[in-house]
């Protein structure tokens, strides 16, 4: 049962990032402008898209899971601090707290691994 829950947790977490990466491709110019409004070079967008697509696939498959989860956790905290830290804006602070909670879940995966239903888990068997 725990293996199924591990997989389901990885599925839910990876889906958030994967869909965000696809959305950034579909709305490339708008995303680039949004980044630049927050003093982040728009030239970084391809790297952001790559991270939001490749790392969640690794997480979902359970391949190099701890590394993928750590990368996503750090990315989530950094992007939350840059794009959502607005103490006077309640909605942005809620978004920041969402990012912090997601990072917390990812840190649990870093600590405990992917579980048995994963490439990492199969390689240990």
Q: Which long-range contacts (CB under 8 A, 24 or more apart) does 92-101 make?
A: none
User: Using CA atoms, how far apart are residues 102 and 84, in angstroms rounded to an integer?
Assistant: 14
State the sign of the Cα–Cα–Cα–Cα dihedral 73, 74, 79, 81: positive
Q: Where exactly are the structural domains of the chain?
A: 2-120
Per-residue pLDDT of the chain (125 residues; tens, 9 = 90+): 789 999 999 999 999 999 999 999 999 999 999 999 999 999 999 999 999 999 999 999 999 999 999 999 999 999 999 999 999 999 999 999 999 999 999 999 999 999 999 999 887 65
- Its pTM stands at 0.94
């Amino acid at each position: 049962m725990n293996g199924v829950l591990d997989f389901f947790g990885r599925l839910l977490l990876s889906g958030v990032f994967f869909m965000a990466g696809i959305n950034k491709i579909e709305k490339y110019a708008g995303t680039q402008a949004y980044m630049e409004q927050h003093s982040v070079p728009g030239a970084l967008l391809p790297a952001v898209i790559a991270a939001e697509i490749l790392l969640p696939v690794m997480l979902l498959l359970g391949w190099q899971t701890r590394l993928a989860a750590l990368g996503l956790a750090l990315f989530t905290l950094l992007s939350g601090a840059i794009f959502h830290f607005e103490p006077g804006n309640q909605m942005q602070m809620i978004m920041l707290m969402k990012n912090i909670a997601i990072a917390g879940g990812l840190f649990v995966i870093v600590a405990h691994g992917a579980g048995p239903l994963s490439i990492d888990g199969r390689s240990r068997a």
